[in-house]
Amino acid sequence: MNFEKYSKQQFDACGLDTSAARQLADELQDDVAKEIHEVVLTAFLKVVEELNARGHNLTPYDEIQVGDIPFRDESSKERCNLRLACDIIISTGYSHTLAADEIEAAT
């Protein structure tokens, strides 16, 4: 991750109350999520492996994406036996950034 891109100087260079500052904060949010995804996914898959070794049949039930890791044990056709998922939310902001609705109103 390019931390220099998100320095205080970079945010200040965007200016106060600008869509550029909001966009930079959004990019930081996405980059942080990507940065931690692989670590979380690796740990989560170890948990799934251990549970499956103890009789469960957890498999992905949707596409695994950054911030969304869903598994289910659907070995029974009548119902889902066990659901295990990990949802990660990264939130960013900067004291002078605009909310999404303010950006839309300005464009």
- Summarize pLDDT for 46-99 with one digit per residue, the tens: 999 999 999 999 999 999 999 999 999 987 777 888 999 999 999 987 766 566
Domain parsing of the chain, residue ranges: 3-106
Count of other CB atoms within 10 angstroms of residue 81: 14
Averaged over 1-30, what is the pLDDT? Answer: 91
State the DSSP H helix or E strand holding residue 39, giving kind and residue range, or none if neither: helix 19-53
Averaged over 5-31, what is the pLDDT? Answer: 91
Reply yes or no on whether the pLDDT at 103 is more than 90: no
* 69, 86 Cβ separation under 8 angstroms: yes
Residue 51 identity? L
Alpha-carbon span 103 to 96, nearest angstrom = 13
